Amino acid sequence: MVVINVLLIIVSILLICVVLIQNSKGGGLMSSQYQMGVARTTDFVEKATWTLAGALIVLCIFLTALLPTNSVQESHSLFEDNAPTVQMNVPSDVPTAEDIQE
């Protein structure tokens, strides 16, 4: 599970970097300085973006599937656990449930 978390962080950072390399107006790595291989750079950045996005989704789903599922258990509050026990002194002349049934 730790390995998947580390992979998730690495993929997220790489995806951020790849997205920041791009420029929404066609700049980024496709500026006028780079006449040679502009199409290849654009294709690589686009494929890297989609691949990293897909890897991020798969890792998130896989990590969610590995999370432990807790069965429904009886829960106790801190007040119930720390509550003092009270002893009630009932007079002996008060009828009990057994006396009433007879």
**Domain boundaries in the chain?**
35-67
**Considering the entire predicted model, what is its pTM?**
0.55
What average pLDDT does range 22-40 have in this prediction? 58
Q: Does 36 have pLDDT greater than 60?
A: no
Task: Please tell me the predicted confidence (pLDDT) of residue 88.
Answer: 72
Task: Please tell me the predicted confidence (pLDDT) of residue 78.
Answer: 67
Q: Does 93 have pLDDT greater than 80?
A: no
Task: Please tell me the predicted confidence (pLDDT) of residue 55.
Answer: 96
Kindly give, in sequence order, each residue whose CB lies less than 8 Å from that of residue 30, ignoring residues fewer than 6 positions away.
23, 38, 41, 42
Say what percent of the chain tops pLDDT 70.
65
The pLDDT tens digits of the residues spanning 61-92 come to 999 998 877 665 666 666 666 767 777 776 77
pLDDT, averaged across the chain: 78
Rounded to 5°, the CA angle 4-44-10 comes to 20
Question: For helices 2-21 and 38-66, what crossing angle results, to 10°?
Answer: 150
Whether the Cβ atoms of residue 78 and residue 30 lie closer than 8 Å to each other: no
